Structure 1
Amino acid sequence: MRDWQKELGLEPHGEGGFFRRIYTGPQEMATAHGPRPSATSIYYLLDEARPSGLLHRNRSDILHFLIDGGPLEYVTVDPAGTLGRTVLGADAERFLLVPGTWWKASRLVGGARHGLVAEVVTPGFDYADHEFAPRSVLDEFPHLAAELREFVRA
């Protein structure tokens, strides 16, 4: 197995896994929250040491493309509280769009040892547009609490 963390120069990510920004669009876009690059992109890796990511959301849409490994399961929650599950892998999808404002988390499944994805964020990522799910999200969506608990910090 390739050492993607070393090969791509990935660093630990605050939500879990490892990442490195690989692109920031040269053009800025006006948004309600200030100017943002037109797009940004990262590599994101989950592995056996860091097999899942925390539930979080962004204001911008995020496109996820599986590059290597998997399967990975993405758990999403839309603003109405509808749970979605999408598996990215060789025998499943290889692409996922998570609209802005939707909660999302990811994890390795099916005995996967790693999963490497590229993410494209548009308008581009800014930490001011990012939010980790507080414990209160379990109260906001009580019908999903059992399924989301493992993705929320204690």
Structure 2
Amino acid sequence: MHRERIDSRELIQRLKLEPHPEGGFFRETYRARGNVVRENEGDARSASTAIYFLLCDGAHSAWHRIRSDELWHFYAGDPIDVHVLDANGSLVTHRLGNALDHADTVFQAVVEAGNWFAAECHDAQGAALVGCTVAPGFEFSEFELAAPGTLEARYPQHRELIERLNPEV
């Protein structure tokens, strides 16, 4: 089995990654010049955006949601679990990884607009470089971190996972 080890410090520097408010490190790599307008809304926004996203050193992506679909792409490192809660409380975990090396992983997964989601390396000591493409494009004004206690109250059946991946307060 081929295993790509990530030197997270070197990668942060080489890719010019910065700390992300949800956890991990990121850098926007693409913002479409063309704009779109959502149905029943007047604000124009980029048609699409893309970022590099690195999880390492035990960090996780805390529970958050956005108003657009987000496509996750696996690039290198260890498998990463992307946990998604829909409005009905159903939990789906997508395991991103090198699907040629890990039969239980996929190269891409979609988080639909409005769903709460969080991510972590499957091995807490692992490191993973992924990409996220958002359409219509990502705007921090539409980024919402879960308030402490909110998701636990709404989805008590997933309390342990929600509490473990809560944002740092």
Which residue of structure 2 aligns with residue 78 of structure 1? Answer: 86
Structure 1 stretch displaced more, 82-91 or 19-28: 82-91
Question: Contact conserved, 1:65 with 1:118, CA < 8 A, in 2?
Answer: yes
Task: Decide which moves more: 127-136 or 35-44.
Answer: 127-136
Q: 1:77 to 1:115 in 2, by over 3 A?
A: same
Aligned length: 153
Of 118, 128, 132, the residue aligned with 1:105 is: 118
Matches of residues 5-154 of structure 1 in structure 2 within 5 Å?
A: 5-31=12-38, 32=41, 34-48=43-57, 50-90=58-98, 91=102, 92-110=105-123, 113-135=126-148, 136-153=150-167, 154=169
Deviation readout 1:93-152 (Å, 9 max, x if unpaired) = 111100000111000123653100111000000112110011212101111112211122
CA distance in 1, matches of 2:118, 2:65: 9
User: Take 1:138 and 1:124, find their aligned partners in 2: how far apart are those partners?
Assistant: 29
2-structure distance, mates of 1:64, 1:130: 16
| C-alpha distance in 1 between matches for 2:96 and 2:36 | 30
Q: Give the aligned residue type for 1:150.
A: R
| TM-score w.r.t. length of structure 2 | 0.85
1:29-79, CA deviations, whole angstroms, 9 ceiling, x for partnerless residues? 11226211000000000011x521100000000000000112111111011
Other structure's SS at 1:138 match = helix
Q: Which runs of 5+ in 2 are unaligned?
A: 1-5
Describe the shift of the 1:77–1:8 C-alpha distance in structure 2 as closer, same or farther (beyond 3 A). same
**Runs of at least 4 residues of structure 1 off by over 3 A?**
none
- Which of these two proteins has the greater Rg computed from alpha carbons? 2
Q: 1:111 to 1:132 in 2, by over 3 A?
A: closer
- Separation in 2, partners of 1:124, 1:19: 16
